[in-house]
C-alpha cells in the first residue's frame, strides 16, 4: 500500500485506518518534502528519490 503527500511528514490518519483494516504486507508513505525518512511500525515514510531508487 502506498500513499503520496507533498510536505506533511506525519503519517496520515487515513493511511493508518486502511492499514488497520486491510493489513497489507508493505506500507509506504512517500513525502516529497521530507527531511529524514523514518519507520513507524510497519509503515515506512520516505522521499520519492529514496523510494524509487530502491526499485531500480
Q: What is the pLDDT of residues 7-25, one digit of tens each?
A: 998 999 999 999 999 999 9
Query: In terms of residue numbers, what domain contains 47?
Result: 2-55
Q: How sure is the predictor about 29, in pLDDT bands with cuts at 50, 70 and 90?
A: very high
> What b/e sequence results for 31-44 when a residue is b if at least 16 CB atoms lie within 10 Å of its CB, and e otherwise?
beebeeeeeeeebb
The number of folded domains in the chain is: 1
pLDDT of residue 19: 96
- More confidently predicted of 55 and 25: 25
**39, three cell numbers:** 519507520
Amino acid at each position: 500500500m502506498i500513499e503520496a503527500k507533498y510536505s506533511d511528514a506525519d503519517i496520515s490518519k487515513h493511511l493508518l485506518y486502511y492499514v488497520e483494516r486491510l493489513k497489507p504486507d508493505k506500507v509506504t508513505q512517500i513525502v516529497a518534502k521530507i527531511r529524514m525518512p523514518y519507520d513507524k511500525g510497519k509503515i515506512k515514510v520516505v522521499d520519492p528519490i529514496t523510494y524509487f531508487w530502491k526499485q531500480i
